[in-house]
Amino acid sequence: MKISPLLLLAALLALAFTLATGLASRAENWSRRTKSDNIFSMMFGDGRKLFANQFFVMADVYFHSGYYPSIFDKKAEGEKEIISASHGNKESEEDEKKEDFLGQPKDWIDAFGRNFRVTQHTHLENGNEREVLPWLRLAAALDPQKIETYTVGAFFLREHLKRPDQAELFLREGISHNPDNCDLYMELGRVYFESYHALDRARNVWELGIKKYFALKPDEQKDNKIIYEGFLVRLGYLEDAAGNEARAIERFRAAQAISPNPQALQQQIDAVQKKLDAQLPVTPQKLF
C-alpha cells in the first residue's frame, strides 16, 4: 500500500496537535521553572544563586572604582566595604592600610604595570553611588534570599541618591521574598523615619520587626540580638522626636539592658530626661 507523503505529514501533524492538547496541562506540573515570573530562575533554576554573589561583588568593585583585589591578592578578611558603608561606618586610616592589597611594587614590571591599573583606594561619592545599583538589582533577581542586596541597595537609594520611593519599593520586594527577616523591617523603618519623617509608619514597621524577632528560634534570637537592640534604640529616638519622652526613656532602658555599650545609651537617657524635666509642669486651670 502506498501512502501519500502529504497524507503522512498531515497525520503526524494531527497526532502532534492531539498530544499537545492532552499534555500541555500536565507539562506545567513537570517543572517549577516554567512557572517562575523571574527570567533568571527560569533559565538557571537554583544555580542562579551562584552568580548572585558574583554580581554583589561587582557592586563592591564599582563602589571602589575598580580598586579591588583579585583571587590571587591577599585581602583582609571581614565584611565587604559596601556593606559596612551601608551601616554608616566611616573608614579609618588603619582600615585604609588594611585595604592596600597592592603593597610595594614587586619588580619593575609590576611598577610599570601600575601605570595602567587602578591603584588608589576610593569610594564612589557625589551621586555616583548609583553605578552600583544595576549589579544589586541583578543580584536580587538572581538570589532573592540574599538580604544584604536589599539593605545595601536601599541605603544607597535613600541616603545618597535621595530616592526613598525606590528604596521602599526595593525593600518591599525583599520583604515579599523574606517576610520574616528583621533587617529588612529595620531598613524600611529608616526610610519612613529618616526620609519621610512618617513617625507612625516607622513605629509600626519597627514594632512589627520586634515581633518578627521574637518569632525567631532562641538560638537565632541570640545571633540577632544586635538587631533587637537596634530596633529599641531607633524606637527610642522616634519617641523622642514624637515628643513622647517618657516612652523614649523606656525604650532606651530596654535597649540598655541588652547593649554591649550601655554607657552610651545612658547619655542618651540623661539627655531625654533633662528635656523631660525642663518641661513646665501642667498647672490645673480653673474651668469656672
Among 42, 57, 83, 118, binds other proteins (CB under 8 A): 118
Question: Least separation, in Å, of the C-beta of 6 and other proteins?
Answer: 37
DSSP one-letter code for 191: I
Q: Which of 31, 35, 45, 32 is nearest to 142 (CA)?
A: 45
Question: Least separation, in Å, of the C-beta of 62 and other proteins?
Answer: 6
Binding mask 79-108 for other proteins (x = CB under 8 A): ---------------------------xx-
Binding mask 50-69 for other proteins (x = CB under 8 A): ------------x--xx---
Under rule CB under 8 A, residue 133 binds other proteins: yes
Give CA torsion, residues 195, 198, 204, 206, to 10 deg.
30
Under rule CB under 8 A, residue 285 binds other proteins: no
Among 95, 131, 173, 250, binds other proteins (CB under 8 A): 131
Asked whether 205 and 192 are in contact (CB, 8 A), the reply is yes
Q: In whole angstroms, give the CA distance from residue 90 to residue 209.
A: 26
- Give Dmax (Cα) for the chain: 117
Q: Which stretch binds other proteins (CB under 8 A): 14-22, 109-117, 229-237, 245-253?
A: 109-117
Q: In whole angstroms, give the CA distance from residue 253 to residue 266.
A: 8
Handedness of CA 248, 254, 257, 258 (dihedral sign): negative
Under rule CB under 8 A, residue 210 binds other proteins: no
Q: Which residue, 59 or 227, has its beta carbon nearer to other proteins? A: 59
Residue 74: CA atoms inside 13 Å, Cβ hemisphere, count?
5
Among 23, 39, 73, 226, binds other proteins (CB under 8 A): 73
Under rule CB under 8 A, residue 160 binds other proteins: no
Q: Which residue, 69 or 262, has its beta carbon nearer to other proteins? A: 69
Under rule CB under 8 A, residue 171 binds other proteins: no
Under rule CB under 8 A, residue 137 binds other proteins: yes
Among 40, 48, 99, 135, binds other proteins (CB under 8 A): 135
Question: Least separation, in Å, of the C-beta of 65 and other proteins?
Answer: 4
> What amino acid occupies position 73?
D
Under rule CB under 8 A, residue 117 binds other proteins: yes
Helices 225-242/199-214 angle, 10° precision: 160
Residue 222 dihedral angles phi and psi, to the nearest 5°: -60, -45
- Measured CA to CA in angstroms, residue 2 lies from 9, 15, 35, 274 at distances of 14, 20, 46, 105
Question: Least separation, in Å, of the C-beta of 117 and other proteins?
Answer: 7
- Measured CA to CA in angstroms, residue 189 lies from 34, 136, 207 at distances of 35, 21, 9
Among 30, 116, 214, 288, binds other proteins (CB under 8 A): 116
Which residues contact other proteins by CB under 8 A? 62, 65-66, 70, 72-73, 106-107, 109-110, 112-113, 115-118, 127, 130-131, 133-135, 137, 157, 161, 163, 166, 170
